[in-house]
Amino acid sequence: MPPTDPGTDPGTDPIGNNWDSNAVYNTGDRVVVNGVTYEAKWWTQGDNPETSGTSGPWKKNLSPVDSNKPPFLKVALLLSTGHTSDI
């Protein structure tokens, strides 16, 4: 049997994991839509993260690490204000 490449779990690695309306997502799965990372709050299928709203199955997370937004700016914002936002 050939060695198995552990790779990355698309449910936990948001980079390159674009949302698919036909896919099933479970609690904690992450997807990227237009450069924004979302995390599933519960089982969902076909619910667009961008239009989910606060009562929907998705919550907005920080942008993926490889985005053009330096992470230290988000940390500075968090430390100075107590919350983050898109920079």
DSSP string over 55-74: TSSEEE-PPPTTSSS-HHHH
Domain that holds residue 65: 24-81
Domain count, the chain: 1
Query: Is 50 inside any structural domain?
Result: yes
Domain contains 47: yes
45-87 confidence digits (pLDDT tens): 999 999 998 899 999 986 454 445 554 445 555 565 555 555 4
CATH number at residue 40: 2.10.10
CA distance 17 to 20: 9
pLDDT surpassing 80 at residue 29: yes
Domain contains 2: no
Task: For residue 4, count CB atoms less than 10 angstroms from its CB and return exposed for 0-12, middle for 13-18, buried for 19 or more.
Answer: exposed
- pLDDT computed for residue 68 by the predictor: 53
Strands (E), the chain: 24-25, 30-33, 36-40, 44-45, 58-60
Q: Which residue has the tokens 């990372």?
A: 37
In the chain, what percentage of residues exceed pLDDT 90? 39
6 in a structural domain: no
Does residue 35 carry a pLDDT above 60?
Answer: yes
